[in-house]
Amino acid sequence: RTVYVNGAYLPEAEASISVFDRGFLMADGVYEVVSVLGGKLLDYEGHMVRLQRSLSELAIQDPLADADYLAAFRELVARNEVTDGLVYLQVTRGNPGDRDFAYPPADTVPTVVMFTQSKPGLADAPAAKVGWSVVSIPDLRWGRRDIKTVQLLYPSMAKMEAKARGADDAWMVEEGRVTEGTSNNAYIVKDGRIVTRELSHDILHGITRAAVLRFAAEAQMAVEERAFTIAEAQDADEAFVTSASAFVMPVVRIDGTSIGSGTPGPVAARLREIYLEESLKTAV
């Protein structure tokens, strides 16, 4: 695989980062994951807008021009012959030359890393026909989950806990209400209404979420942006999650309780279809 590091395209075995990089020492960095279908980038603009916001919230200078990001994404997709898969982009505060809690001077050059993952048949994932089972787990992450930082240890622990309990993912719960999945936004459907937590510092502002809610509104589906409980989810007609890599993924069990019929529901199936169709139209 060819990877990108600070402007260079290198075989992955030859790419390296300083031990003093703030991303390595302090998880001081942000990332984006953009899916690739048929060699094209889905929701590319949205992901780049969120990258800018994450960087600006952490006062990391943006090292590249918009056109440089797109050129690098395309170059990597081409060099690695990715038809379906992902591009991962990470920007860290860079290497100040030593370890210190204070941010280094603003002219410290950020470290930019990009790589691809090939996932043939990504849009036809068999899991979408079966649906995921999820378990609930307390949300013990920090309070700025709207910034897409690389500090992902708690979501990793939650994922492991889910697997240990025989589930596909975890829904994190705070003050009795679901925040989101380990790497996706969470939804329920009750009496034809789609319910998903409102945007705040408590959740990541999903790019797929924004697109799906827009398509739902265009299709005259009712949407309510508010938090919900696990009990409410277990009593719902349907549940699902959204993310750049899972698109719209049905959820059929929560803490061992079947949702609705226990099979993927029609609203999730329709939204998945609309999302894939519409986002391919604007893919770059």
Catalytic residues: 148
Query: Looking at beta carbons only, is 2 or 116 nearer to ligand PLP?
Result: 116
284 close to 40: Cβ distance less than 8 angstroms = yes
Cα–Cα distance for residue pair 48/83, rounded to 1 Å: 21
Query: Looking at beta carbons only, is 42 or 230 nearer to ligand PLP?
Result: 42
Query: Looking at beta carbons only, is 86 or 269 nearer to ligand PLP?
Result: 86
Kindly state the smallest distance separating residue 152's Cβ from ligand PLP, in Å. Answer: 8
Helix, strand, or coil (residue 190): strand
Backbone angles phi, psi at 269, to 5 degrees: -65, -40
Kindly state the smallest distance separating residue 208's Cβ from ligand PLP, in Å. Answer: 3
Using CB under 6 A, which residues numbered 28 to 87 contact ligand PLP?
A: 33
Q: Does 279 interact with ligand PLP (rule: CB under 6 A)? A: no
Cα dist from 12 to 2, 20, 35, whole Å: 6, 20, 20
Q: Does 168 interact with ligand PLP (rule: CB under 6 A)? A: no
Using CB under 6 A, which residues numbered 4 to 33 contact ligand PLP?
A: 33
Among 21, 180, 202, 238, binds ligand PLP (CB under 6 A): 180
Match 């929701």 to its residue by tokens. 43
Q: Does 243 interact with ligand PLP (rule: CB under 6 A)? A: yes
49 close to 55: Cβ distance less than 8 angstroms = no
Among 111, 208, 221, 239, binds ligand PLP (CB under 6 A): 208
Q: What is the DSSP letter of 124?
A: G
Helix, strand, or coil (residue 35): strand
Q: Does 244 interact with ligand PLP (rule: CB under 6 A)? A: yes
If one counts every other C-beta atom within 10 angstroms of the C-beta of residue 144, the result is 12
- Determine which helix (DSSP H) or strand (DSSP E) holds 169, and give its type and residue range: strand 169-174
Query: Looking at beta carbons only, is 90 or 208 nearer to ligand PLP?
Result: 208
Q: Does 196 interact with ligand PLP (rule: CB under 6 A)? A: no
Among 90, 92, 242, 279, binds ligand PLP (CB under 6 A): 242
Among 95, 185, 196, 279, binds ligand PLP (CB under 6 A): 185
Among 183, 230, 239, 252, binds ligand PLP (CB under 6 A): 183
Cα dist from 24 to 13, 17, 32, 146, 174, whole Å: 18, 9, 17, 21, 29
254 close to 171: Cβ distance less than 8 angstroms = yes
Cα–Cα distance for residue pair 181/155, rounded to 1 Å: 8
Count of residues of this chain found to bind ligand PLP when the rule CB under 6 A is applied: 13
Q: Does 95 interact with ligand PLP (rule: CB under 6 A)? A: no
The single-letter code of the amino acid at 36 is V
Q: Does 250 interact with ligand PLP (rule: CB under 6 A)? A: no
Query: Looking at beta carbons only, is 2 or 208 nearer to ligand PLP?
Result: 208
234 burial type by CB count under 10 A (0-12 exposed, 13-18 middle, 19+ buried):
middle
- Determine which helix (DSSP H) or strand (DSSP E) holds 180, and give its type and residue range: strand 177-181
Query: Looking at beta carbons only, is 203 or 221 nearer to ligand PLP?
Result: 203
Among 72, 204, 227, 252, binds ligand PLP (CB under 6 A): 204
What is the contact surface with ligand PLP in residues (CB under 6 A)?
A: 33, 180, 183-185, 204, 206-209, 242-244
